[in-house]
């Protein structure tokens, strides 16, 4: 219990190590605290204290007095490795996110998003204002865009030549689909700052738009609309609104795919339960059970065509119009 209660110490140490790029600076081998401090613009004494604390946590090794080397654990924060977690450490420890978690008690007490209560604006509004935080956020989303190949196969997207990825960020999922499905055109719709990072070609496009104002006219009638880790950002009423917008834009035989970390109906413990609290803190959204998704789908005037079992951390629900689903 004591280790859990002091867990935030380690989180903030990792945040500082990630911000200073210590993992990158140790790629060439062990370095003294003074040299690392000079490279990163830090006070050598306090950096040395941080590194010694990091030794006790297993983040670095002390190979000689006041000389430190990386460990396999710290290497996960290197910028040059595939799947680097540096952006996760920088985002989670960022003062805007960190301080929002201090509002969890108020969120639980009053049922309001902690981020908005603490900062006076929502997360997505802050991302529009803070380019550095937005850049880090999009790097985290690129990690989240990786979808288990088995789930991607199970979606059977080859049926749909025109796909719209609603809230698709910088296009990681769109690119993955384009690589996996021959002849498909995937268009990402998201905020201007998000789609600026989309690598466009003949298979992947991007449109800057507020999806709550409706699917852009040029993208109406697409064969499939994807909502991956989008509905969990929003309250039930806003999630229903998004589903209705997709319903209204959908081709007669088209499909909507909802891809989320689904909570088990039984209440069994799992990672989605902690993600649920993260959504309460950051956006006021929530993770949901299949039963809760069914209620949203019904309210939006759509029909659940099939449930696609979890592959890794995510599951998918395939939706269609009520007429087409019969």
pLDDT of residue 325: 52
Kindly tell me if the per-residue pLDDT of 326 is higher than 80. Answer: no
Task: Give the mean pLDDT of 225-254.
Answer: 96
Domains and CATH numbers, the chain: 2-77 (1.10.10.10), 90-142 (no CATH), 143-325 (3.40.50.150)
Task: Give the mean pLDDT of 186-215.
Answer: 94
pLDDT of residue 149: 76
Determine the Cα angle at 149 with ends 79 and 138, to 5°.
Answer: 35
Task: Give the mean pLDDT of 40-59.
Answer: 97
Which one of 94, 138, 229, 232 is the catalytic residue?
Answer: 232
Is 119 designated active site? no
Q: What is the pLDDT of residues 60-113, one digit of tens each?
A: 999 999 999 999 999 999 999 999 999 999 999 999 999 999 999 999 999 999
61-72 residues labelled b (16+ CB within 10 A) or e (exposed): bbeeeebbebbe
pLDDT of residue 264: 83
Kindly tell me if the per-residue pLDDT of 227 is higher than 60. Answer: yes
CA distances from 234 to 116, 122, 230, 231 (A): 13, 12, 8, 6
Scanning 81-148, the segments in alpha helix (DSSP H) are 86-92, 95-101, 104-110, 114-119, 123-129, 131-144
Kindly tell me if the per-residue pLDDT of 195 is higher than 80. Answer: yes
pLDDT of residue 300: 97
């Amino acid at each position: 219990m004591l280790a859990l209660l002091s867990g935030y110490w380690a989180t903030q140490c990792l945040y500082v190590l990630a911000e200073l790029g210590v993992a990158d600076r140790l790629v060439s081998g062990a370095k003294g605290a003074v040299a690392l401090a000079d490279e990163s613009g830090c006070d050598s004494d306090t950096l040395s204290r941080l590194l010694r604390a990091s030794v006790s946590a297993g983040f670095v090794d002390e190979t000689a007095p006041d000389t430190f080397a990386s460990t396999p654990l710290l290497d996960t924060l290197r910028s040059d490795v595939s799947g680097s977690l540096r952006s996760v450490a920088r985002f989670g420890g960022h003062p805007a996110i960190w301080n929002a978690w201090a509002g969890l008690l108020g969120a639980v007490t009053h049922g309001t998003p902690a981020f908005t209560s603490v900062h006076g604006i929502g997360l997505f509004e802050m991302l529009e204002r803070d380019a550095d935080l937005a850049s880090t956020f999009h790097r985290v989303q690129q990690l989240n865009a990786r979808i288990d190949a088995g789930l991607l196969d199970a979606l059977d997207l080859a049926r749909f030549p025109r796909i719209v990825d609603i809230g698709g960020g910088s296009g990681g999922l769109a690119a993955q689909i384009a690589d996996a499905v021959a002849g498909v055109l995937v268009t990402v719709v998201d905020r201007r700052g998000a789609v600026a990072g989309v690598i466009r070609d003949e298979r992947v496009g991007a449109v800057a738009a507020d999806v709550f104002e409706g699917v852009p006219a040029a993208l109406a009638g697409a064969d499939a609309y994807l909502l991956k880790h989008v509905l969990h950002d929003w309250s039930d009423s806003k999630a229903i609104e998004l589903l209705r917008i997709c319903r209204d834009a959908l081709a007669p035989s088209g499909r909507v795919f909802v891809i989320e970390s689904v909570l088990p109906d039984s209440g069994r413990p799992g990672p989605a339960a902690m993600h649920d609290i993260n959504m309460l803190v950051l956006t006021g959204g929530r993770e949901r059970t299949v039963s809760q998704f069914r209620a949203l789908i019904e309210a939006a005037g759509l029909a659940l065509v099939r449930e696609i079992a979890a592959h890794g951390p995510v599951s998918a629900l395939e939706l269609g119009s009520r007429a087409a689903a019969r």
